[in-house]
Structure 1
Amino acid sequence: MTLTLTVSDEVRTIAPGFAHLAVEAHGLRNGPSDARSSALLDDAARRLADRLDGRAPHEDPHMAAWRAAYTAFGAKPSRTRNSAEALARRALADGGLPRINLLVDAYNAISVAHLVPVGGEDTDHIKGGMRLIRATGDEPFPTVAGGEETVEHPEPGEVVWCDDEGVTCRRWNWRQGVRTRLTEESVSALFLLEGLAPMTHGELDAAGAELAGHLRRLSPGARITVHAPR
C-alpha cells in the first residue's frame, strides 16, 4: 500500500476489537452522481430497512458498539453520531440519502448497506502516513462553518485520523476535513472501512469486496487493491 496506516495503542485500549480494511484505488474516474450511483444508494436503503426490520439504527449491535466507543473517548454519541449511524438515519428519513458524486455515493452505499463506517480520502492530498490517535488538542482541522473556511482543533483525548499536516477526520469517523475529501477531480483514493465487534473480519471483507466491485464498474480500468482487516 502506498500509504501507511497505524492505530495508536491508546486507541486500541479503548476499542480492543477495532479493525479496519483499506481499499486502495488509482486511475479512478469520478464525476457527478448519475443513475448508476443513485441506484446503488436506493438499493442500500432497501437493504438497510430489511436489516433493521423496524428498529432504529442505534439499536443494531454494531452501532451500539460504536456508541460505546464514542462514549469511551468522551463524545456524546446521541449528538455526534458515527458516520454510519448518521447516514442510516438519513436513508430512513423522508428525502433519503444525498447524492454527492460517483465515488462518495459508492462508499456511502456500502456504509448504509453494511452499517459500517466508511470514509474516502484523496491520496494526492494526504501528507505522509495516516494515523488514528487520541488528539492533544493542538492539531489543525481545516473545515467549513457557516459557509466560511475555518480551522478548528479537536478536543484533547478525542480520537482522530490525521496525517503529517493535521486532522483528516474528527471524532474517529464523524466529520471529514475539506483538504482530503473526494471531489470530481479525484483520481486516486483510499477508502477506509472500520469495524468493531460484533462485526467480524469476514463481514468487513465482504463490505470491502462489494465496494471494490462498485469502483471497478464506475471506473473501468482503475487499479484497485483490497488490504485485509487488521
Structure 2
Amino acid sequence: MYVRHASEIWRDFPELVPGVLSAGGITAEVRGDAVATVEAFVAEHERAARARLAASPEGELPEVRAWRRAFSRMGLKPTQYRCASESLLRRLRKEGSLPRIHPLIDVCNALSVAYAIPVAVFDVSAVTDGLEVRYAGGDETYLTFSGETEHPAPGEVIFADGAGRAHARRWTNRQSGLSAVRDSTGDVLVVAEALHESAPADVGKLMAALAGVLDDLWQARPEHTVLTASAPRFDS
C-alpha cells in the first residue's frame, strides 16, 4: 500500500506539505480508560480551535486561505467547495462541537480543526494497490456516501487507486463512501495536507500527535512521514 503525489501536483503546488500515516488494529469501540482518553483529546483540540475562531473566522486563518487560493487556481469557487478542515471549523463555530462518529474519525476531526489542516482517513481494505493524488482523466469512478456513482471532471485533483477509483474529489473537498472508515475498519491510511507558510512544522506536529494517540488507544504502532517533492512516496 502506498501514497504518492503525481509530479504534476508538485509542479503546480510546490508549497505542498503532505503528511502520511499508516496504522493497523483499529476498532470501532474503545473501552475503559481509552474512552476518557478519546474524549479528553477531542475536547482539548476543540477548545484550541474555538480559541482560534474567537479571534478570527475560519476563512481568515492562513491555513484555510492557502487552500482557498489553491481551489481558485483549480477553477473552483472557494466558498462553494471548501476544504475539509474549513467545513469542520465552520460547523464547530456554528454548533460549538463536532459530532461523534467513530473514535478514529473523532480524533482526526479534532486534529483537523485544531490545526486547520484537512485530514483524510481511508480504509485500506477498499483501496487497490495504493493512492495517487493526481489530475483526473475523467474516466475514474467515485462512489458517494448515498451510493451514487460519479465521474470526476477531467483535470480535477483526485485520490486515485490502481483500479481507477477516486477516493476523494476536488482534492481536499470530499471523500468517497467507498473507503470511509466504518465499524469493520482495521487498517487505515491517513493523509494530512497543507499549503501555508508554516506547514512543514505544523504537519509534522499533527502527525506526531496522531501517532501518539493511536498508539495509546490501539497499540497501533503507526508509521508516519512527511513527503516532499524529492521523496514523494510512502510505502507501508
* TM-score, normalised with respect to structure 2: 0.88
Counterpart of 2:11 (choices 10, 13, 21) is 13
Distance in 2, matches of 1:163 and 1:114, equals 27
Partner of 1:216: 215
Once residues 184 and 222 of structure 2 are traced to their aligned partners in structure 1, the CA distance between those partners, rounded to angstroms, is 18
The CA deviation at 1:228 is: 2.8
CA distance in 1, matches of 2:128, 2:214: 24
Q: Is the 8 A contact 1:83 1:173 kept in 2?
A: yes
Between the aligned partners of 2:148 and 2:20, the Cα distance in structure 1 is 29
1:107 and 1:211 in contact (8 A); partners too: yes
Of stretches 192-201 and 31-40 in structure 1, the one that deviates more from structure 2 is 31-40
* Counterpart secondary structure, 1:107: helix
What amino acid does structure 2 have at the position aligned with 1:16?
Answer: P
Counterparts of 2:151 and 2:131, CA distance in 1: 17
Shift of residue 111 of structure 1?
0.5
Contact 1:74-1:158 at 8 Å conserved across structures? no
Q: Assess if the C-alpha contact under 8 Å between 2:120 and 2:190 holds in 1.
A: yes
Q: Report 1:1-230 matches (<5 A).
A: 3-31=1-29, 35-94=36-95, 96-145=97-146, 149-165=147-163, 166-219=165-218, 221-230=219-228
| Gap regions ≥5 residues in structure 2 | 229-236
Structure 1 residue 190: deviation in Å?
0.8
Please give the secondary structure, in 1, of the residue aligned with 2:55: coil
Distance 1:163 1:206 in 2: 27
TM-score by length of 1: 0.90
CA-atom RMSD, angstroms? 1.8
- 2:30–2:217 contact (8 Å) kept in structure 1: no
Question: What is the letter of the counterpart of residue 51 of structure 1?
Answer: R
Letter in 2 for 1:207: L
Structure 1 window deviating more from structure 2 (29-38 vs 84-93): it is 29-38
The range that moved more, 204-213 or 190-199, is: 190-199
Aligned-residue sequence identity (percent) comes to: 30
Letter in 1 for 2:138: G
Contact 2:17 2:226 in 1 (8 A): no
Could you report, residue by residue, the CA deviation over 1:91-129 in whole angstroms, capped at 9, with x for unpaired residues? 111252111101111111110111111011111221012
Aligned residues: 224
Residue ranges of structure 1 left out of the alignment (5+ in a row) = none
Alpha-carbon offset, residue 195 of structure 1: 1.2
Rounded Cα–Cα distance in structure 1 between residues aligned with 2:196 and 2:55: 22
Q: Distance in 2 between matches of 1:116 and 1:199?
A: 11
TM-superposed deviation, 1:32:
7.6
Deviation at 1:37, TM superposition (A): 3.0
Secondary structure in 2 matching 1:79: coil
Amino acid at match of 2:196: A
Could you say if the C-alpha distance between residues 56 and 25 of structure 1 is closer, same or farther in structure 2, counting changes exceeding 3 Å? Answer: same
Post-superposition offset of 1:152:
0.6
